[in-house]
A and B are shown apart, each in its own frame.
Chain A
């Protein structure tokens, strides 16, 4: 039999807040997490984009991370562990890890986490150290800190998740694809509980300079909070974000047996690949459309049941259009009744963590019946015929479904469908 998958815990460490309650409140109020980067390297290297959506607080200030743990983790791992610990606590287990929580079997508890780039800061700091000080000064923890699986490993070690600790690397689709893997682990009966999500800490002068050279980034240096403006006619690129989010998913019978509070059901997942271009989305959105259809079919969902979409919508001039075509293709006339939120307008683009934070938003939107904001939408691009949520909007009563889309460089398309319980 296939097990039904439900969400019982949420965690976030984001540009909008150090935890889920703060992040969600700000997403409903339309607060921007984008600011000028107050680091000497912006001027020192003449970085052409001087703003980003950095995490709300320094992770070493978080009560969910010790000083020694912080020293042994790249920022991407720090964000991941903080978010995973919040999600675990939120799920209401009786112990702080799968060993001490008696209702959980650690050998049936897994991790599936995504990242786009892994430990960028650790990698580049180590290269600087080698060149400036030589091999004797290399830190022995360099490799375990920079490897992309370090977040999944840190979560597994800390929460004693022994069923599996898997990592997905598919650029900005990473964490949505990680959720698909987590869902399959539960459906197939290999795990009862999975910590899914993603993390990214890539706001580094090198990555900003490289993304800027691709002309992928907004250059609105004089007005950072207005820079991420999905669907607006004046959008000029995405805004780098960072952070992590984690969700505790488990089989419905496991959640019910321990009387857990259930936020929503992950009803369906869909993935596809464009096989078209390394960075450009396929213009007619055939791959995105297939992933979306697959997610709905996987969850036995009628397109008319979908009332809300958390769009990938990064605010690039070309990227925002194909997704809207995919939505129109799948939802047809019903598209006008679908409340579309582009939360990257507030969080910036968390890259490998984007699907995770947006999954948290989607789950909360279904749970609280409230779609979060899309800010900075002054004049909607006439090519994008969507019903965009500019101020937090109530969603209907009864059984509802929301979907979250993620698309990544490489042509990766991933969609999850979330149903109310």
Chain B
């Protein structure tokens, strides 16, 4: 089971690969849309990659609730338990 830190690092890697946002900018309190300028299609791409990487399921209807990086980290952590 991945720790919160490992999930954040993994997520930052995905965000960087898909959008070019620096990994160091991917922090728990950052909003995907407001702070990181990630559009909905990029967000869905990040979700698909995160599901694969962390072996979890993030339902499509849940994605709109993942407003910040912290929301996503928490969801992935709980989904993997």
Contacts and interface: CB of A to CB of B under 8 A. Distances in A.
Interface of A: 66-68, 71, 136-141, 144
Contacts, number: 25
A128 B17 CA distance: 22
A51 B19 CA distance: 35
Contact of A140 (B45, B51, B57): B45
Contacts of B48: 136-140
Q: Is the interface of B mostly helix, strand, loop or mixed?
A: helix
A137 B19 CA distance: 18
Most buried by A among B19, B44, B48: B48
B52 A137 contact: yes
Given A139-B45, A141-B41, A67 B52 contact: no
Given A67-B17, A68-B20, A71-B17, A141 B45 contact: yes
B29 interface: no
A68 B52 CA distance: 19
Contacts of B18: 68, 71
Contacts of A139: 45, 48
Contacts of B41: 140-141, 144
Contacts of B51: 136-137
Nearest to A140: B44
A138 B19 CA distance: 18
A66 B16 CA distance: 12
Contacts of B19: 68
14 contacts: A67-B17, A68-B19, A71-B17, A71-B18, A136-B48, A136-B51, A136-B57, A137-B48, A137-B51, A139-B45, A140-B44, A140-B45, A140-B48, A141-B41
Contacts of A138: 48
Interface string B32-64: 000000000100110010011000010000000
Contacts of B57: 136
Contacts of A144: 41
A71 B42 CA distance: 11
A139 B45 CA distance: 6
A136 B58 CA distance: 9
